[in-house]
Structure 1
Amino acid sequence: MFGKRKKSSSQYADDGYDEADDYNEADDYDAAEYAPADDYDYDDAPTDERSYAGVDFDADTPQGQPGPYDYEDVAELLENVSEQRLDLGSVLLPVPPGGQLQVEMTPDGQPQAVHLATEHGRITVAAYAAPKSEGQWRLVAADLAESLRKDGARVSVENGPWGRELLAITEGADLRFIGVDGYRWMLRLVAAGPSGAANDGSPLVRAARATLSETVVRRGEDPLPVREPLPVVLPQQLSEQLAAAHQQQVEAQQQAMSAQATAAQTGPPSVLPPRMPEGPRRGADGSAMQQLGLN
């Protein structure tokens, strides 16, 4: 859809990247219960050569190459397709058909991650600061594979349109990690779904690759440490809605805590002993039953 990027892949960096700190997208799937990894070996044979077979993108793109794109290269073209993308500050994402936005918030109400929920599984795209020369994703993939195995996942490395991809099989979900090196940024996508959903050619993986092929990264000019996540900024309307919902949640928690504190101060409510049934009332002319003519 956009023009080719101005910066060639030969300009990208080779630097370390500790992926263990960024493996938060998979926390929902209980890493402690991953299956044994004995029958999967880390095969380093896959290369980083790109082959876009199986990726849906605009065939009219110059040189027939899809994204992800650098914002500086496609800023003018974005004016015509801005409504087709969700602007999250550091990344501009196309939302797949039927996709729903899920925002993960920090305890203080700041956006931490944005997920695209589809009928086949969940797609998470995040951008990170990176050096200028290539090799970032290759190192990240190696570190990530080691971290996954330590958690008990079965990990294999496969060739994808952008080079190496990681497939992790767990008890709770199947995960596919796709990474792309850019100019001073690295983009990582995680596709997560039930058993078999992350296999090559599945509907979830096709949707993930199509999303990645049309994603735009807005790196900015500020110097950032390598592996620093690029900030997520929500659209104003969505941000206001989430802020209001977060405030309501905080107020509800405060009210619950206040009620608990009040109950603790006053102590348990007093309980009267059960009242014993009284005998028949006695009057001047006999018992109550006798007065009613029932005895």
Structure 2
Amino acid sequence: MFGWGRRGRDSRQDETGPSGNEDGAATEESGLGPYDLAELPEDDAVERLDLGSVRLPVPEGSQLQVEVDPAGPVRAVHLVTRVGRLTISAFAAPRSAGLWPEVRAELTEQLRRDGAEVAERDGEWGPELLADSPRAVLRFVGVDGPRWMIRGVAAGPGETAEACAKLLYAVLDDTVVVRGEEPMPVRTPLPIQLPESIARHIQQAQNGEQQA
């Protein structure tokens, strides 16, 4: 589908050093994404899939998997790769404080209730979660931006968990968030809008299932 464009995550990190702060918040000084649309560098040349509130680089060879609510809205968009599945979600956040520390604590409690072994690790953007469950190894990465929080999840078998995490980092690093100016309750998922060609394909598939 889409390639990585002209910029690579490793080259930018070598130039700028580590990114983020201890709470997982993105910093303008880091030179790394994810970017707010207003902060996207002028010389950016990365090809991305426009999903309305987020614009994602799509790793070559991956497939798009869409979860659609029966009522119509898109619940989630996943990138299915050879090493695992990536999910990027953006949410409205308060202007004055980061949301990820609070969400991270809730995720830890929920995952442990579900029987997963959960550990907190220091990652690319600060604290992240690594959960080992019977079905998959999950890595949760959160980044706080201006009035938004983005959460990335890498899910896959244990033998490819590290490769899947690195791919998640690369996707997050070149993701763009389009928050918009309208007020939203904190934690509201930012709306996903599928490109017309993809939406039409899904509609055709749904119509075929109904006819069958």
Regarding TM over 0.5, the answer is yes
Mapped contact 1:103–1:114 kept (Cα < 8 A): yes
| 1:48 matched to 2:11 | no
1:126 alignment partner AA: S
Mapped contact 2:121–2:130 kept (Cα < 8 A): yes
Q: Secondary structure at the match of 1:156?
A: strand
- 5+ residue gaps, structure 2: 1-6, 8-19
Mapped contact 1:174–1:197 kept (Cα < 8 A): no
Mapped contact 1:149–1:155 kept (Cα < 8 A): yes
| 1:244 matched to 2:204 | yes
The share of aligned pairs that are identical, in percent, is 49
Aligned-partner Cα distance in 2 for 1:129–1:166: 21
- 5+ residue gaps, structure 1: 2-8, 11-46, 52-61, 253-295
Q: Which residue of 2 aligns with 1:25?
A: none
Aligned-partner Cα distance in 2 for 1:187–1:91: 9
| 1:192 matched to 2:155 | yes
Mapped contact 1:50–1:161 kept (Cα < 8 A): no
Mapped contact 2:25–2:98 kept (Cα < 8 A): no
Q: Which residue of 2 aligns with 1:231?
A: 191
Query: Which digits, 9 at most, give the CA deviation of each residue in 1:59-113, with x for residues without a partner?
Result: xxx95521000012228556x54xx100000100001122111111122443211
2:38 alignment partner AA: E
Q: Secondary structure at the match of 2:40?
A: helix
- Structure with more strand by fraction: 2
Aligned match of 2:38 in 69, 72, 78? Answer: 72
Aligned-partner Cα distance in 2 for 1:49–1:104: 27
Query: Which digits, 9 at most, give the CA deviation of each residue in 1:35-62, with x for residues without a partner?
Result: xxxxxxxxxxxx43689xxxxxxxxxx9
- TM-score, with length taken from structure 2: 0.84
From the CA coordinates, give the structure whose radius of gyration is larger. Answer: 1
Residue 125 to residue 217, structure 1, CA distance change in 2 (3 Å): same
Q: Secondary structure at the match of 2:172?
A: helix
- Number of paired residues? 195
Q: Which residue of 2 aligns with 1:220?
A: 180
2:190 alignment partner AA: L
| 1:113 matched to 2:88 | no
Mapped contact 2:55–2:176 kept (Cα < 8 A): yes
Q: Which residue of 2 aligns with 1:132?
A: 95
- TM-score, with length taken from structure 1: 0.61
Mapped contact 2:137–2:156 kept (Cα < 8 A): yes
Mapped contact 2:117–2:133 kept (Cα < 8 A): yes
Q: How does 1:257-276 map to 2 (within 5 A)?
A: none
RMSD over aligned CA atoms reads: 2.5
